[in-house]
Structure 1
Amino acid sequence: MKNRPDHRRTAFLFAVPIAVLGGLIGLGGAEFRLPVLVGALRYSARQAVPLNLSISLITVIASLLIRAGALPMNALSELAVPITALIAGAIVSAAAGASLASRLPEHWLEATIRLFLLAIGGLLIVEAFLPLQGSGFIPAEAVWRAGAGVLFGLLIGLVSSMLGVAGGELIIPTLIFAFGADVKVAGTASLIISLPTIMVGLFRYARRGAFTDRAPLRETVAPMGAGSIIGALIGGVLVGIVSAAFLKLLLGIVLIISAVRMFRH
């Protein structure tokens, strides 16, 4: 791909609103970037996945820095066992997910991404009418929490590395419904869990030569990463002003339409 200023501009302009909306509803925005990378920026699904994972790394680090100090550490310490177990499981499967995505035929990878986007779109619509809340169905004993955390982490790491997402779409509901976490605590814990998972996935993609061509890093990852940081800051300011339920309904519909149109050919 040639070095084109208009490409960088497009990547940046898409990244800002995606990060704003993602921040407002508690997601990293990777699921919304996938249709942009494939549809607007014309990458193949196989190219889009590692690029999306790279942007997710920038977004997660920025979000952690923005949220630093906003939540007492003792709130996270209560979830120390499931957080550690989720990280362990996710790291193990993240490497496998990157390998699987590299070996899947293009049409199978596209079908997997489309199914994931449709599922997340449906989940957002459901959450618009039924806000996330829960008391946790996993027993409070450490052994149960550790075992369940590893199993959930295996699934989350696989999805994260295969599709280039941070995994918050799965981590946050898991922490709330399985372990009874508060939604704000779950959001911060999700970022902590996502960080090592993304790094392992990126390492595996790099080993497989996904970043041999550095042009996409300059033309897409850098401007989208910058836009994501700016958008995250704006989203933090707007939290509490815009209805999260309305945004989830709207974005769920948009995501479903995008998933259908993204691979319509």
Structure 2
Amino acid sequence: MSTPAIDRPKRHAAAAIWGAVIGTLGGLIGLGGAEFRLPVLIGVFRFAALEAVILNKAVSLVVVASAILFRTSAVPMDDVVNQWPIIANLLAGSLLGAWLGASWATRLRSETLYRVISVLLLVIAVVLLIKHQGGGQPLLTGLRQIALGVVAGLGIGVIASLLGVAGGEFLIPTLILLFGVDVKLAGSLSLAISLPTMLMGFARYSRDKTFVVVRQNVPFLTFMAVGSLVGAFCGGLLLGLVPAAALLPLLAAILVLSAIKVWRHARR
């Protein structure tokens, strides 16, 4: 395991602070913030690529599980359950994708994984810049919709496992465009799909020897998870005060810079 760059007490305090900052950023754009957490785990806390992905997955699980409960006041659970065919459609692909993505991540050389992470961060930056209007007619219907849903779920599951993220950046636009779901409901459906998908990836990672990084960093993970939850709550409160038109380009730029920094790790 990589050696932490700072002493343990300071490291835990920094984990909570970074967790709060990342959670706030995620809350402002309606995501868990894992795409911002991963570069911090690599660049600030000096974890190796696979260690950072596994730790990111662990924190993301806590954040997503909590977010599902937080959203029930805005989107009743019955509304989510009633959309079970859509959930099942995407899960049919995402569960397999999560297992495959985690398997590939454990087999890739560290330098290659750094480069894969860097490229995917750039992809997310582009996705953040695309505005997704809520609700309307589904792109396809019938068997074609089901087939494309499975394929989309497969790709999202792979990306989610490779980065240790929930995949909401891709799930929400898929739900809106492919299935015609309202943007508000899409956020809750995304979480309902993300949780079992992430559990599948986490189960696969638990079979790899690198998974020991979770047991060795329980206090660190706890501080970062608590900070992330507090930040997500604050981000939700600030949501109406910061226009998305100004925020998204800034966050995309942060991801681009993070991608460049992560890419440089592959040369070390």
TM-score > 0.5 by shorter chain: yes
Structure 1 window deviating more from structure 2 (115-124 vs 46-55): it is: 115-124
Contact 2:53-2:163 within 8 A present in 1 as well: yes
Structure 1 residue 148, shift from structure 2 partner: 2.2
Q: 1:28 aligns with which of 32, 44, 51?
A: 32
Structure 1 residue 88, shift from structure 2 partner: 2.0
Q: Distance in 1 between matches of 2:237 and 2:244?
A: 14
Structure 1 window deviating more from structure 2 (193-202 vs 208-217): it is: 208-217
Partner of 2:62: 58
Partner of 1:37: 41
Partner of 1:216: 217
Partner of 1:86: 90
2:171 paired with 1:171: yes
Structure 1 residue 74, shift from structure 2 partner: 5.5
Contact 2:35-2:165 within 8 A present in 1 as well: yes
Structure 1 window deviating more from structure 2 (159-168 vs 190-199): it is: 159-168
RMSD across aligned positions (CA): 1.9
Q: 1:96 aligns with which of 65, 75, 100?
A: 100
Amino acid aligned to 2:225: G
Label 1:145 to 1:242 Cα distance change in 2 as closer, same or farther (>3 A): same
2:139 paired with 1:135: no
Q: 1:123 aligns with which of 127, 150, 156?
A: 127
Structure 1 residue 245, shift from structure 2 partner: 2.2
TM-score by length of 2: 0.90
Contact 1:51-1:217 within 8 A present in 2 as well: no
Structure 1's consecutive aligned runs of 4 or more residues displaced over 3 angstroms after TM superposition are 72-79, 130-138
Structure 1 residue 146, shift from structure 2 partner: 2.6
Partner of 1:198: 198
Q: Distance in 2 between matches of 1:176 and 1:148?
A: 14
Amino acid aligned to 1:178: L
Q: Distance in 1 between matches of 2:137 and 2:258?
A: 33
Deviations 1:91-129 (A, max 9, x none): 1221111111000111111111000111111222x33xx
Q: Distance in 1 between matches of 2:192 and 2:82?
A: 14
Contact 2:114-2:262 within 8 A present in 1 as well: no
Aligned length: 260
Q: Secondary structure at the match of 1:262?
A: helix
Contact 1:83-1:149 within 8 A present in 2 as well: no
Structure 1 residue 165, shift from structure 2 partner: 0.9
Q: Distance in 2 between matches of 1:134 and 1:184?
A: 9
Amino acid aligned to 1:243: P
Q: Secondary structure at the match of 1:139?
A: coil
Q: Distance in 1 between matches of 2:71 and 2:56?
A: 22
Amino acid aligned to 2:216: A
Partner of 1:258: 258
Partner of 2:247: 247
Q: Distance in 2 between matches of 1:256 and 1:136?
A: 33
Q: Distance in 1 between matches of 2:74 and 2:245?
A: 23
Q: 1:70 aligns with which of 57, 68, 74?
A: 74
Deviations 1:201-254 (A, max 9, x none): 1111111133324222322x2111111111121122222122122111110111
Structure 1 residue 137, shift from structure 2 partner: 4.8
Contact 1:93-1:157 within 8 A present in 2 as well: yes
Deviations 1:59-85 (A, max 9, x none): 101111111132134643564322211
Q: 1:46 aligns with which of 50, 57, 72?
A: 50
Q: 1:111 aligns with which of 115, 118, 123?
A: 115
Alignment map for 1:215-234 (pairs within 5 Å): 215-219=216-220, 221-234=221-234
Label 1:64 to 1:136 Cα distance change in 2 as closer, same or farther (>3 A): same
Q: Distance in 2 between matches of 1:210 and 1:185?
A: 37
